[in-house]
Structure 1
């Protein structure tokens, strides 16, 4: 069978349902609604641990979309900031000006977003697996998709869905990314999650980040690694809940991928990428949903002039679609989208990977930067307010990010140079690590070595930050 819509959205995770709901509101109630198909391979509740925190910037985008109710009724908890724990000490990092995020089970939030889409005017939520794109043989423009629908009473069968605009929001394993960009995701690390029961956080309603020295490839026995390496570094109140969780449940895992956003509009007519299909960052800062929802806000605003009115000729002829789109105009809108989102997305993308590199320190220079970062937070004031505003999605400024990042680098150098015995007594890289031995051999009389180390620390900061900035600006 064949179906025709104005817009087809592939994927009903975070971005897909939010976009379907947002686009459905473009036209007034007395006008013909946009006909939108939201295709998802499985509409059962997702069972995974990922994207559990929506930052305050994401909450603001959710409110702008009229979807703030999607965090209600799912046991979501208000989140007021972070507690960072390092070598038995902790520092409180509150969100600025009373801002709040929300922590919740990812699957419950997705189900509420899908409910919002299913209730939106003109939106059909369809359980079907999209297999391939339908392209015009002459121009290559994407005209629709072929999908296998799930049914209970009959065997699966393939149908064709046609639309003026096809939007792929099919996540990190997108089938259609290569149609738009030659960029491929780079796996930076692996995410492992467990559900803790009766856990008492160091500061209630705050995300807790414990800096555990050392990193490396995912061990074969992950539970043993958590039990023997991670648990001893946790605050006392968290050790028992973690050990109990390891005994009762599996560790859920997925790769952490980094994918800078490339410009869209000129590589494949008729197809747009959004969400993790287009742009990914490390989940350490919990910024993925914030970026995706902000993208929905901006894209809806830019597409509104082209979708707000039905084509009178099509409406009069009872055609299956109500719009005709000039792809050159859509390309211009996508270029504007790329620039409009850049402040927030690049800030969160760069910050997430830079913090992971610092917090997952695996050499002496990164170890010094990590210790300096914690000491920087301990200073309080703008040393907390600035970084947490960036992390929360409230200060979309790569320039502000660069200022604080290199302030941390210089402060790390200052701490290392002026208090070398502190570093010497707290090397935690392992008894057999040559860099750790070098740390313990330093003394106040060996300042030339300290000066050299300061230069290498600054160089390490540059090679952490520089390539991340380049990954963002190379696609401008």
Structure 2
């Protein structure tokens, strides 16, 4: 069965796909004489149940407002978020958002359903429940003409001038769209999640990041009036008994006020997990991508979810892409679409590169796996304790309101240098013979030569963390 042809066909009605369908339908365009016909295809239109994608940074809220979709945050029991609390060994640092901006946290599925409902009401948009099986290609030019899908048990073909693949982190079509140019995703850990009921976080309406010795960080944030999400970062390979691992290794290091709720949640709820993947963006269009199609959202570019920046990047991508596509007269013209994709790739860099780099770099620091990274993690915590610009700058980057890789580099290496200063001048635990517990002692002058060598290693480690991440963003292929 063949459907009527569309102007744009979007595979995946998640965050990026739903937003793009609504945005394109409402975008003013002097280049086209008639409104677009858009098909939004999704395998299941039932409410999804995921443990990530539940915190939208202030930069994402601002982008959602530009798209005319801010009301999707209403009526879903969303919680205002005013910043972060970083907890380490019983000490807390308050990191508020600047200028009274707000984020939102919520149940992922409720937000997705609101986005889909908004897309359904957009003029010219058909939201269709169908499983996309393959891309339809012209046998002569290899241009993508549409997709074959299964709807209510029947095979159906959908055709469009332009096919946008936004089917998420587990994309079935990433390689088909980009071929050999597709970047490879890397997974170093998993988030293991559950919901705690009626708990009191150290600072209400703030995301809480708990730094845990010997493990990745633990995130807690309220996603409803009674529900608080807990995400435990667990490195690969995963333990065979995750609940026992969390109870014995993680819970004792968390605030005591959370222990009872965590035990209750682990007894009555199953733990779910999600891979924490990093997928750098590769330029699309021209020879880099199969003609007639391109990737959007997590199908194309992923970052570690520690900073909660994924949806912020996605909504900002849609804002820019809609603006550029509204200038295109003929969506079938691949040369023009390729020029749009090139401009889009580099215009998005300010925000996307900042959040992408920050997410992985901060994870390396918070999930310190060696001695140098532990020095950087301690220095980062104490850097935040200084307050002022040492908090305002980093949280502006994290929240998506200061899209500046240069500012990020400045603060990252300021943390590195301050970490070295802390290593020389601050007390650290020292185990002395005859004492059961270590004492706190400032390094002696005779220790300085060894610390100087260690300082070089710490600075080198900072460069090794930051440099490759920056390269993945500025390279031209």
Other-structure match for 2:149: 147
- CA distance in 1: counterparts of 2:350 and 2:315, whole angstroms: 14
Structure 1 residue 94 and structure 2 residue 114: aligned? no
Other-structure match for 2:214: 214
Other-structure match for 1:169: 166
| Contact 1:425 1:440 survives alignment (8 Å) | no
Q: Secondary structure at the match of 1:264?
A: coil
Other-structure match for 2:408: 401
Report Cα offsets for 1:168-214 as digits up to 9, x if no partner: 00001112211223212111211111111011000000000000011
Structure 1 residue 81 and structure 2 residue 83: aligned? yes
Q: Secondary structure at the match of 2:453?
A: helix
Q: Secondary structure at the match of 2:259?
A: helix
Give the one of 389, 398, 418 matched to 1:391: 398
Give the one of 352, 355, 371 matched to 1:348: 355
Q: Secondary structure at the match of 2:142?
A: coil
Equivalences for residues 24-423 of structure 1 within 5 A: 24-27=25-28, 32-149=34-151, 151=152, 156-178=153-175, 179-180=177-178, 181-215=181-215, 216-217=235-236, 218-266=238-286, 267-306=289-328, 325-419=332-426, 421-423=427-429
Q: Cα distance, 1:254 vs. partner?
A: 1.0
Other-structure match for 1:313: none
Q: Cα distance, 1:442 vs. partner?
A: 7.0
Change (3 A) 1:446 1:272: same
Q: Cα distance, 1:268 vs. partner?
A: 1.3
Taking structure 1 as the reference length, the TM-score comes to 0.90
Give structure 1 stretches of 5+ with no counterpart.
308-322, 432-436
Other-structure match for 1:21: 22
| Contact 1:376 1:383 survives alignment (8 Å) | yes
- CA distance in 2: counterparts of 1:327 and 1:31, whole angstroms: 19
Change (3 A) 1:42 1:445: same
Q: Cα distance, 1:31 vs. partner?
A: 6.3
- CA distance in 2: counterparts of 1:132 and 1:399, whole angstroms: 41
Kindly tell me the number of residue pairs found equivalent between the two proteins. 445
Q: Secondary structure at the match of 1:226?
A: helix
| Contact 1:41 1:128 survives alignment (8 Å) | yes
Q: Cα distance, 1:445 vs. partner?
A: 2.3
Other-structure match for 1:318: none
- CA distance in 2: counterparts of 1:364 and 1:406, whole angstroms: 17
Q: Cα distance, 1:424 vs. partner?
A: 3.6
- CA distance in 1: counterparts of 2:262 and 2:331, whole angstroms: 55
- Backbone CA RMSD of aligned residues: 2.0
Q: Cα distance, 1:389 vs. partner?
A: 0.2
Q: Secondary structure at the match of 2:428?
A: helix
Q: Cα distance, 1:475 vs. partner?
A: 3.5
Q: Kindly report structure 1 stretches of 4+ aligned residues shifted beyond 6 Å.
A: 28-31, 439-442
- CA distance in 1: counterparts of 2:279 and 2:168, whole angstroms: 12
Report Cα offsets for 1:406-444 as digits up to 9, x if no partner: 00000000000112x425469xxxx9xxxxx9x999754
Q: Secondary structure at the match of 2:197?
A: coil
Report Cα offsets for 1:328-348 as digits up to 9, x if no partner: 111001100001100100000
Tell me whether 168-177 or 379-388 shows the greater mean CA deviation.
Answer: 168-177
Other-structure match for 1:465: 466
Report Cα offsets for 1:38-72 as digits up to 9, x if no partner: 00001110011111100000000000000000011
